[in-house]
Amino acid sequence: MRSTPRGDGAGDAPVSHDAPGIGGVPVVGRASVFQDVPVIDDAPAPERSTTAPEARLPSALPAADAPDAGEHPAEPPVDDGVVLSIEGLRKQFGSTVAVDDIHLDVPTGSFYGIVGPNGAGKTTTLSMVTGLLRPDGGRITVHGVDMWADPVRAKRSIGVLPDRLRLFDRLTGAQLLYYSGILRGLDAATVRQRSSDLIAAFGLEDAVNRLVADYSAGMTKKIALAAAMIHSPRLLVLDEPFESVDPVSAANLIDILQRYVASGGTVVLSSHGMDFVQRVCDHVAIIVTGRVLAAGTMDEVRGGGTLEDRFVQLAGGRKAAEGMEWLHTFSD
């Protein structure tokens, strides 16, 4: 179903197949920020190196460039180039099958888009991947750790932006960031440092001292996205991250995410925007009625045409616009 080679002989080192390197990423706007935001935290052991100076060293960042010398020998990361692996995932609500036997492998360092029509099961899938919704069956492995067998360890590697869930919105933006960072086990100094970096990167300076309840929808998305990244997770799972975010902010955020991917991080996002996914993502999966209809690199999935063409074709084609002739003669 998918093309990313497994067991490519890289041993313990997580391999980034398509990381183009920092130089290959267009530098736009606030691009310099990303060097200050440590993204990949390489050790899954409890005592993680979270102090700011150390983590900000470039060598601590990309898994692809640095050998895993710092890993605890007791817990070798199981990583064969796939940071997220979904096998036979199923979820049923009453008599409705929301997710029907989904298999998906997300290669390390990929920018993975999940597209599908409304109600296709994207949010359900991502909720199960992030440990928010208990699956009826199947297995989810994050960086070699089974999400539902050892959730505490698996959750450490993931940053989550859920769709349509509330935030603790009686906190100010700054408080919410701090809260998220501390809950993720960072120390206060690191959280402050990263908060100020994220606030600058996301353009939230004017908003951080106001209650999140008073934010606009786009601002709420941005603060939630910042909170999802603060613990420099290996994998970011974003459900509709750019819904109602203005184009300028979206461009900035995409730039940040692309730099994150370039340095070895992995982004999985769901979206309705085909053009956007085609432009930004290097891998894509098309999910319709709880099943994966196509998955792989962008070029493989879309073939010669656009992603939208392929999507419409897979999702059941266009409905013939018959029986709507009354719309073509105007009533006045």
Number of residues that bind other proteins (CB under 8 A): 40
Site for other proteins contains 248 (CB under 8 A): no
Site for other proteins contains 143 (CB under 8 A): no
> CA 144, CA 180: separation in Å to the nearest integer?
24
Candidate residues 156, 222, 259, 283; the one interacting with other proteins per rule CB under 8 A: 156
Bridge partners of 269, per DSSP, are 113, 238
**Rounded (to 5) percent helix, strand, coil in the chain:** 35, 20, 45
CA atoms within a 13 Å half-sphere pointing along the CA-CB vector of 116: 26
Stretch that binds other proteins, among 136-144, 203-211, 256-264, 280-288 (CB under 8 A): 203-211
Residue number, 132 or 314, with CB nearest to other proteins = 132
**Both tokens of residue 271?**
């979206």
Shortest CB 215 distance to other proteins, Å: 10
Residue number, 223 or 277, with CB nearest to other proteins = 223
Shortest CB 230 distance to other proteins, Å: 11
Question: Exposed, middle or buried by CB within 10 Å (0-12, 13-18, 19+), for 237?
Answer: buried
Candidate residues 160, 204, 225, 292; the one interacting with other proteins per rule CB under 8 A: 160
Stretch that binds other proteins, among 26-34, 178-186, 289-297, 314-322 (CB under 8 A): 178-186
Give, as ranges, the residues between 96 and 135 that touch other proteins (CB under 8 A). 130-134
Give, as ranges, the residues between 41 and 70 that touch other proteins (CB under 8 A). none
Residue number, 133 or 312, with CB nearest to other proteins = 133
Site for other proteins contains 172 (CB under 8 A): yes
> CA 64, CA 62: separation in Å to the nearest integer?
5
Site for other proteins contains 152 (CB under 8 A): yes
> CA 81, CA 14: separation in Å to the nearest integer?
5
> CA 75, CA 79: separation in Å to the nearest integer?
12
Site for other proteins contains 175 (CB under 8 A): yes
313-320 contacts: CB < 8 A, separation 24 or more?
314/286, 314/288, 315/116, 315/117, 315/286, 315/288, 316/288
Stretch that binds other proteins, among 22-30, 172-180, 255-263, 286-294 (CB under 8 A): 172-180
Q: Where are the beta strands (DSSP E) in the chain?
A: 82-93, 96-107, 111-115, 137-142, 145-146, 158-161, 235-239, 266-271, 283-288, 291-297
Site for other proteins contains 318 (CB under 8 A): no
Give, as ranges, the residues between 252 and 311 that touch other proteins (CB under 8 A). none
Site for other proteins contains 1 (CB under 8 A): no
Residue number, 83 or 158, with CB nearest to other proteins = 158
Stretch that binds other proteins, among 41-49, 180-188, 305-313, 316-324 (CB under 8 A): 180-188
Whether 132 and 212 have beta carbons less than 8 Å apart is answered as no
Give, as ranges, the residues between 217 and 246 that touch other proteins (CB under 8 A). 227
| Pairing between β-strand 96-107 and β-strand 111-115 as defined by DSSP bridges | unpaired
Site for other proteins contains 213 (CB under 8 A): yes
Site for other proteins contains 78 (CB under 8 A): no
Site for other proteins contains 211 (CB under 8 A): yes
> CA 323, CA 18: separation in Å to the nearest integer?
48
Bridge partners of 82, per DSSP, are 107
Q: Which residues are at the interface with other proteins (CB under 8 A)?
A: 130-134, 151-153, 155-156, 158, 160, 162, 164-172, 174-175, 178-180, 182-185, 187-188, 191, 209-211, 213-214, 227
